[in-house]
Amino acid sequence: MAILQVSDIYKDFGRTQVLRGINFSLEQGQAIAIIGSSGSGKTTLLRCLNFLETPDRGRIQVNGETLFDADDPATQRESEVRKKRLHFGLVFQSFHLFPQYTALENVTLAPRLLAGERPDFKARRKELFAQIDAQGRVLLERMGLADRAGHYPHQLSGGQQQRVAIARALALKPDILCFDEPTSALDPELTGEVLKVIRSLAEQKTTMLIVTHEMAFARDVADQVIFMDGGVIVEQGAARQVIEHPREERTRQFLSRYAEN
């Protein structure tokens, strides 16, 4: 059974139709790359999946549980939506680290806040925080940042900040890790170090949705590629098939622009 099932998602902003009937599924341990021109709906789709935007129509299921159904108001209560966001980890284009916190504090902030909601928190506060800090250090080590735990964002390069953001997203152990063009704010030299981390996560069978403009990376790392245009999925299939031998003319036109650059 698919870990994520997205069914007939629509989203409008005023009179502008941004998503028009999006359907796809994601299997456990699979990485799907989502490609397309600016304005095709890629980021809005991720924001709907993370409940940062509310779809106008459709249904979102994770592990067989309906997290959102536009026809069921019970799935749209803010108290419920907050819990459901925990199924997804989101890495933004521009890092969004808290400047007043160190790398380790950025990674451990959300787990500490969640720990505070436990009924045994007062009795186990010191123990729980020690465990969270230890787990945060392990994540930073995985990102190649063990020696940067005490550094503040302004003391880190863009690539290092993005790797801290990835560690932060992983800290809550999400079912699905989502990336919204994670290298678009980086220069070419720093892009490689972030893509290397994502490649490593794919090799470890981390379940991921990756909005990216890196076509070679999508071809080599993703299991599936979705090409979006005008708010619809134009083509979906095995990564190499879509990138190297697209079936749809619109996909070929889009990819030809990258081949020319």
91 burial class (0-12, 13-18, 19+ CB within 10 angstroms)? buried
pLDDT at 260 over 60: no
State what percent of residues in the chain have pLDDT above 70: 98
pLDDT at 184: 87
Write down the architecture of domain 4-260 according to CATH.
3-Layer(aba) Sandwich (3.40)
Domain parsing of the chain, residue ranges? 4-260
CA distance 171 to 166: 9
CA distance 172 to 85: 10
pLDDT in tens, 178-226: 999 999 888 888 888 899 999 999 999 999 999 999 999 999 999 999 9
pLDDT in tens, 14-59: 999 999 999 999 999 999 999 999 889 999 999 999 999 999 999 9
Closest CA to 239 of 228, 250, 224: 224
Edge-to-edge strands of the sheet including 57-62?
16-26, 4-13, 57-62, 65-69
149 backbone φψ class: left, alpha, beta (φ>0; ψ -120 to 50): alpha
Please say whether the dihedral angle defined by the alpha carbons of residues 36, 39, 40 and 45, taken in this order, is positive or negative: positive
pLDDT at 232: 97
CA distance 6 to 196: 28
pLDDT at 93: 85
Rounded to two decimals, the pTM is 0.92
Confidence of residue 102 (pLDDT cuts 50, 70, 90): very high
CA distance 54 to 76: 8
